[in-house]
Amino acid sequence: MRDKVRAFGDLHVEGDPLILYNIWDAGSAKAVADAGASAIATGSWGVACAHGYKDGETFPVDLVFANLAQILTVTDLPVTLDFEAGYGVDAAQVGQMVEKVAKAGAVGINIEDKDPVTRELFDIDIACARIKAAAASGIWINARADLFIVTPKEHHDLALVEKVLVRAESFADSGANSLFVPFIADESLIGYLCSKSPLPVNILVGDGIPDIKTLAGLGVARISHGHGPWARAMQDLSTAAKLAMAALD
């Protein structure tokens, strides 16, 4: 497993980023693997919605592991799990849960610095304790800093990036391997973040976000698609179903 985690880490290259087209089940994992992916990443939103739940750790953790197990049966690619805030009430429980993720066969996780119940950021000491506990598993820890999610867009500025960097330094000291900053969109801010971050930077693509080539040029090392692939697949399914239902009209 150590070799597989190391190989997964080697895919995080500034300027030549790892492209993760997020999946939600074994079928979508196989489709993305067959498309030439270097690694497979779940997206918690798509996973939850595909099973009739809402995002935010409402998807029962036993089902998270069952879904992961099925995904691992269809691909030999490294699989990283969006584990939301770690499915634990405290750092100790997070550590236990992430150890189970490692034993299940995933090479990494995402872990958020936001409480899934209150939707507020954890104090930095609490967030770091949870990251440190997760890192003890030995798998790749993609630490998510949600300042750009909880802050209104009019305040998405350099000062906010500096706040992210404070967290990034502490996350790195706690054992995180990469830094995920969703909803940052401005090219100059992304470039500054990449130039100053102690960790490889992961950016979420979507509406209003620079394209993949631009992000690569800014020094991004990992690019995620979040719930976009699931939403697109559901839209395509709905459109096809409507055409079928109207075929006799």
* Fold entry, domain 2-239: TIM Barrel (3.20.20)
**Can you tell me the distance from the alpha carbon of 224 to that of 144, in angstroms, rounded to the nearest whole number?**
12
What distance, in Å, lies between the first and last C-alpha atoms of the chain? 56
pLDDT in tens, 33-84: 999 999 999 999 999 999 999 999 999 999 999 999 999 999 999 999 999 9
Put simply, whether the predicted model's pTM sits higher than 0.85 gets the answer: yes
Query: Within a 10 A sphere around the Cβ of 27, how many other Cβ atoms?
Result: 13
How confident is the model over 3-32, as pLDDT tens digits? 999 999 999 999 999 999 999 999 999 999
Q: Which of 232, 93, 110, 235 is nearest to 182 (CA)?
A: 110
**Cα–Cα nearest to 21, from 36, 7, 46, 41:** 41
Q: What residue ranges do the domains of the chain occupy?
A: 2-239
